[in-house]
Amino acid sequence: MRVHQAYRYALDPTPEQARLLASHCGAARFAFNWGLARIKAAMNQRAAEQSYGIADEVLTEVPWSLYSLRRAWNAAKDTAAPWWAENSKEAYNTGLDGVTRAVKNWAASRKGARAGKKIGFPRFKSKHRALLSCRFTTGTIRVEADRRQVTLPRLGTIRTHESTRKLARHLERRTGRILSATVRREGGRWFVAFTCEIDRTDRTDRTPAKPDAVVGVDLGVKDLAVLSTGEVIANPRHHRSALKRLRRLNKQLARRVGPRTPDGGRRQASARWAKTKGALGKAHARVANQRRDGLHKLTTRLAATYGTVVIEDLNISGMLANRSLARAVADVGMAEVRRQLSYKTGWSGGGLVVADRWFPSSKTCSGCGAVKAKLALSERDHSCIECGLVLDRDLNAARNLAALAAGVAQSCGETVNARGGAVRPGVRARPAPVKRELPPGRTLPRQRGSSLTLTKKH
């Protein structure tokens, strides 16, 4: 089994290396803007020609492909950027590749061929607001033998802040191959991410600690996750803990602006404004790193312990539309949990089952199977009027998710829904029927929409 995996390391570049990194990222931004301007000019020219009734076969061609843009760039780079030789060719290829991807995504979204929300036409990248990033696919890209340095084209050998032993072991055993390297600046630090092809054929016999165990995971806001085993993982609320500092830095950023321009226009940014902006970026990066670290530890433990993990197909976009819950939901990272479990369960030899979005996990009684008509969000306990079971609603939902996995074929590394079929983006599966024993005097459940209603015999 060959998989694509990324290894990300923080860098400790020298001042000269930091200047070169920024120069390469700036060159990528320049090439992006140059390519976008050329595409817009060709599109405007083509629209003007169409308005005059010119035949389609003689209209101006729009350079949609990366090949056509690179050919045009090589012909115009001496005039457009006389300093182009100071940076690697990969920097300009990064920008041109980015603009072609952005335009193709816009065209696909406009035609309805791209899933998700409609996206707008790409915009020019600002020098002061654009993310510094550059990708290398050719040249000398390697991890040094001391496992504390990496070598990149035109940048030389750069020291890493942490050991690269995990990637170095794959390279030494020849079970890994570096495909590309991407440098990026986040939160005041430089990072490098190696995209690698990893051979995992030597780990096919790896199984979870409990290969026959099934665990249901109910994600929430009050608690990060509640397992069907009764374990409760507390929600650390990293963003909420840092909110006081973030508010203070935002207020400070709003005050630290310089005088207005000579023509009375916008106020200029001062040196202290730039310093506060850097501190604010570091604070946000710290929150993101803390959240990412906690989710990785949780998903790794679940995948390495249980043979089957069951989660829900949550409507995260709809939950974020609720202004009362948006901040708390975003602080949890529910979509990231599913994304990590989707590949970690396969690596560990287990399986992932994704319950249908309309499966009433909270409304269904885990004891007798009765389904409530309504269950308010403020009701933290599930009280069954049929069997009298009183249970925490999150634990009750987790147990229902674990019971749902009974009879579902376990597929190593494959994400399946409640009916055992592969989950495809944009396809909504029907709710899965759950067979349960009914209390005496009850008939079979009658399905109404997404819920089940029990009726008495007369």
Catalytic residues, by residue number, are 218, 312, 394
φ and ψ at 360, to 5 degrees?
Answer: -80, 70
Residues linked to residue 133 through DSSP beta bridges, in sequence order: 184
3-class SS letters over 295-351: HHHHHHHHHHHEEEEEEECCCHHHHHCCCCCHHHHHHHCHHHHHHHHHHHHHHCCCE
Cβ count near 158 (within 10 Å): 22
Phi, psi of 177 (to 5 degrees): -140, 130
Specify the DSSP class assigned to residue 11.
Answer: B
Closest CA to 329 of 345, 343, 314: 314
* 192 DSSP β-pair partners: 9, 183
Q: Work out the end-to-end distance of the chain between its first and last CA atoms, rounded to an integer number of angstroms.
A: 59
Main-chain phi, psi angles of 383, to 5 degrees? -110, 115
Instruction: Tell me the residue type at 231.
Output: E
Q: Per this entry, what is the length of the chain?
A: 458
User: If 0-12 CB within 10 Å is exposed, 13-18 middle and 19+ buried, where does residue 109 land?
Assistant: middle
Taking a C-beta distance cutoff of 8 angstroms, is the pair 155, 24 a contact? yes
Query: Is the CB of residue 159 less than 8 Å from the CB of residue 13?
Result: yes
Beta-bridge mates of residue 3 = 198
Q: Half-sphere exposure (CA, 13 Å, Cβ side) for 165? A: 2
Kindly report the number of other CB atoms within 10 A of residue 270's CB atom: 14
Please give the distance of CA 93 from its chain centroid, rounded to a whole number. Answer: 24
Question: Residue 131 in contact with residue 28, Cβ under 8 Å?
Answer: no
C-alpha angle 212/214/219, rounded to 5°? Answer: 155
